[in-house]
């Protein structure tokens, strides 16, 4: 074979390989496209397209932005109803008999959750001297000094987390808070195993001493946080209807009471029918089974969550409590409570969610300075040491009246 023929043969062989590769690639794309068409999660939504709007990652109340800005709320509600229909069919859920919806619904969705069935083995006596809720009304006369505000703070805590609760009682939830007649603090804990007699007795003694525990008949597990948060709505609706605002937070959250009171005292701050917190948009489900926030495609087949508020801490206006409870009544529970309540249920109930880092911040700077402290109501801590350091720094800043731009070293010394 001549040299020219050999070169020509090699070129033809390479072209054939490239042609086979292109054909294989096209076939793979075609198969993938067909697969997507066949399993597109939109088919589960009763012909209602599931599309999550692309929103900015940061929102701020100062710019008058919120999760509903520029979005057709009715369309979003219809899109998110795909989750309800799909999950009801997937789990074979049946309407609960003899249970009426808390609020009339245009789409007449069936009641799938009995949100009025919670009971509380440990509760606060309605006429106990430390319990302020019975003295609050919608026009509370004892709260006029703070723009007629009344605030219920509910800390979600596990029954075994007595150390965390005591840490709160010794810091931001201490005697100074108890003297404020328009703020009520309670700890909402779950049920304990019947065989754990020691923990049961410990809870009884703790409540006898502090009288600030409410225990709900929900087992303390991460998966049950959604149930506990719905129980929070149920308890508030029945036991503290006079609260103008309800702040929900976890027991690792440090609350800067001075900053929170400053926000609530502003005339332009009107949380009556809104939710306030740290907005999370364009968040995707975690598909790794080892991840704490793992959600399988069977539970949530879509690639994006609706915008929601971070569950570490958020503020609810008075007029959001019953609509959220009503939405939870007709929406199958979702394992992530913040996605469920502040995302799915809030939009279903036409409730506006406003994101502001002034309300809640997940990550604190390495150096807490007076600018951060004076502009932030609460933040998450990673340890007992960090919690105590936060309290020391906040105390020094307000005791010394340190203005913004006064540096604070992250050791409690300014």
What is the four-CA torsion angle of 111, 305, 188, 216, rounded to 10 degrees? 30
Q: Are 314 and 359 in contact (CB under 8 A)?
A: yes
Token pair in block for residue 191? 């049920």
- DSSP letters of 159-172? TT-HHHHHHHHHTT
Q: CA 154, CA 176: separation in Å to the nearest integer?
A: 17
Q: What is the pLDDT of residue 385?
A: 94
- DSSP letters of 389-405? HHHHHHHHHHHTT--TT
Q: Are 122 and 212 in contact (CB under 8 A)?
A: no
Token pair in block for residue 275? 């939710």
Kindly report, residue by residue over 313-367, the tens digit of the pLDDT: 999 999 999 999 999 999 999 999 999 999 999 988 989 999 988 999 998 887 7
Q: Any bridge partners for residue 227, and if so which?
A: none
Confidence class for position 47, pLDDT limits 50, 70, 90:
very low
Residue 305 has pLDDT above 70, yes or no: yes
Q: Are 334 and 305 in contact (CB under 8 A)?
A: no
- The H-or-E segment that residue 258 falls in is helix 257-264
Confidence class for position 404, pLDDT limits 50, 70, 90:
confident
Q: CA 292, CA 280: separation in Å to the nearest integer?
A: 17
Token pair in block for residue 363? 């990550």
| pTM for the model | 0.79
Kindly report, residue by residue over 119-157, the tens digit of the pLDDT: 999 998 776 767 888 888 754 444 445 567 899 999 999
Please tell me the least confidently modeled range out of 29-33, 83-87, 174-178.
29-33
Return mean pLDDT, the chain: 79
């Amino acid at each position: 074979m001549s040299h020219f023929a050999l070169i020509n043969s090699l070129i033809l062989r390479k072209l054939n390989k490239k042609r086979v590769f292109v054909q294989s690639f096209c076939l793979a794309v075609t198969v993938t496209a067909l697969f997507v068409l066949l399993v597109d999660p939109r088919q589960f939504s009763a012909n209602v397209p599931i599309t999550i709007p692309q929103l900015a990652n940061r929102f701020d109340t100062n710019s008058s932005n919120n999760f509903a800005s520029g979005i057709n709320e009715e369309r979003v509600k219809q899109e998110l109803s795909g989750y309800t229909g799909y999950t009801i069919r997937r789990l074979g859920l049946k309407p609960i008999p003899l249970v009426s919806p808390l609020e009339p619904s245009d789409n007449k969705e069936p009641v799938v959750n009995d949100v009025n069935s919670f009971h509380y083995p440990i509760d606060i006596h309605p006429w106990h001297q430390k319990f302020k809720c019975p003295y609050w009304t919608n026009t509370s006369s004892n709260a006029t000094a703070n723009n007629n505000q009344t605030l219920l703070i509910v800390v979600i805590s596990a029954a075994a987390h007595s150390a965390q609760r005591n840490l709160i009682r010794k810091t931001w939830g201490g005697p100074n808070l108890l003297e404020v007649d328009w703020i009520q603090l309670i700890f909402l804990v779950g049920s304990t195993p019947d065989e754990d007699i020691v923990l049961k007795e410990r809870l009884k003694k703790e409540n006898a001493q502090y009288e600030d525990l409410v225990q709900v008949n929900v087992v303390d597990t991460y998966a049950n946080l959604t149930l506990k948060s719905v129980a929070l709505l149920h308890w508030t609706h029945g036991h503290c209807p006079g609260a103008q605002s309800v702040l929900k937070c976890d027991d690792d959250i440090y609350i800067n009471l001075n900053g929170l009171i400053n926000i609530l005292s502003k005339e332009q701050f009107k949380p009556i029918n809104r939710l306030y917190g740290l907005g999370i948009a364009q968040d995707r489900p975690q598909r790794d089974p080892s991840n704490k926030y793992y959600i399988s495609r069977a539970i949530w087949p879509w690639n994006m969550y609706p915008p929601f508020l971070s569950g570490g801490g958020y503020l609810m206006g008075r007029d959001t409590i019953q609509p959220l409870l009503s939405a939870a009544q007709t929406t199958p529970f979702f394992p992530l409570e913040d996605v469920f309540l502040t995302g799915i249920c809030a939009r279903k109930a036409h409730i506006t969610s406003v994101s502001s880092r002034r309300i809640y911040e997940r990550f604190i700077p390495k150096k807490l300075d007076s600018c951060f402290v004076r502009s932030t109501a609460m933040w998450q801590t990673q340890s007992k040491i960090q919690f105590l350091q936060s309290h020391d720094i906040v105390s020094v800043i307000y005791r010394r009246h340190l203005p913004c731009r006064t540096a604070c070293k992250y050791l409690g010394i300014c």
